[in-house]
Amino acid sequence: MLHGDLPYVQLWDRKPLGLFLLYAFFHLFGTYRIWAYQIFALFSVWGTSLLLVRMARSFAPPGGALMSGLLYIACLNLSGGEGGQSPVFYNLLVTAAMAHTLFGALWPEERPDRLRSVGMVGMALFGLAIQIKYTAVFEGIFLGCFLLWCDFKARKPVGVIATDALLWVTTALAPTFLAAGFYALIGHGHEWFFANIQSIFLRQPRPGNLLVLFLLPLVAKQLPLIISGMFAFATFPSETRRSIQVRFIFLWAAVSLFGVLIFGDWFDHYALPTYAPLAVIAAPLWRWQAGRITLSLCLLTGFIFGEKLVSSHIRKRGNADTLKTLTHYLSDPPGCIFIYRGPPTLYDSVSWCALTTHPFPSHFYMNSEKYGTGIDPLAELHRIMSKRPLYVVSNDTLAEDENMDVRHYLDGVLATQYHLIYQYMRPADRRIDKEHSAITVYKRNSETEAQQLSN
């Protein structure tokens, strides 16, 4: 992007423009770009946590409010939040929108006269969040509907309510309209529409057994906070249950869970947006000794298992030394690389060759993406391999949702035109099966090597 490539045109992915721009900003820091995004993520988590603590104080004791902020931090590692996933950034915007609404118009006293201005700020924050990840739209719709309900509750005239609705919707959609308008202006409106809207509905559903395989671990990580929140709500006095701040925050938690379930893929990091409201609704348990013990155990187990998962991810995917080793093998000598299945960050570590407009591996190897990216993955792979990339990065093991037509073709090409030069094997796999590795690097045969192999 910093050299002129346009998302959705030269660089296709199903992500909002804001996320591309965010990581383009981090790349301005050059060799410190990883530090840049990690530091920005750290401040995002810190800011989100502080807002959650303050929100929890509207119906929970100080200790419980503090626990909500700590629980949010601990839970992120349970769902891959250590790696700069987009919810780590947009959770701050979403939480800021909710906190501004709560303290600006709802609590400690309702302020109907401030609903319009507070709603404008909240929807502006959601507009930015949606341009980082479209899943934030569900929470944005909830906020708009809740504010309209407050308008009705205050018995405002229909004209005022309609004006508020129009202003809030326009404000929330303004960043998306700007992105779409920019692409339409430069003649690529269709590319923007296909990537951001049409392609979402072209993805194929995953097999039922895989959905269960992904859903159960995701729910298991959320369940302690869900149960804690439900118990806290059930034990509130009836007057507290009917209070505006309790309704607002508990409905936010419910909508965040709905936003995860409705998409259906249930990757691990899809749980990340739910941890902010779930941590808040668990805070009132601090009112009892048993609740304090429960929240402390949740925090302790979240921290321990989160750190274990981070350690597991490092062993599974490699660390900085693994990246250096891979970069060395992919740069000696320099040449074009194609990543069929492996870490996309390798494209950022070696010289970039525009072999395809679809550089992300999942667009090729995932069967559910066969009709959802605007290309025929098998035909596109034929075209890529005809350009004779010097290196190909793959994986010996099959993915759960592997496109076998694509895989069989690639394996055939690798067997006849390439040879293995490096393989990274996960420590756990090294003990179980020494024949399979997590990352494999193949180099194209030279004419001499090809003759030797044929003889």
Where is pLDDT greater, at 265 or 244?
244
pTM of the model: 0.90
Q: Are 60 and 284 in contact (CB under 8 A)?
A: yes
The region of weakest confidence among 101-115, 272-286, 400-414, 420-434 is 420-434
Q: What is the pLDDT of residue 451?
A: 47
Instruction: Give dist(CA 346, CA 352) in Å, integer.
Output: 9
Please give the mean pLDDT across all residues of the chain. 90
The pLDDT of 15-20, averaged and rounded, is: 95
Please count the other Cβ atoms lying within 10 Å of the Cβ belonging to residue 340.
21
The pLDDT of 106-135, averaged and rounded, is: 94
Q: Are 388 and 444 in contact (CB under 8 A)?
A: yes
Share of the chain above pLDDT 90, in %: 70
Q: Which residue has the tokens 């990543």?
A: 339
Residue 391's DSSP bridge partners are: 337, 443
Q: What is the pLDDT of residue 447?
A: 64
The pLDDT of residue 364 is above 90? yes
Q: What is the pLDDT of residue 313?
A: 80
Q: What is the pLDDT of residue 454?
A: 46
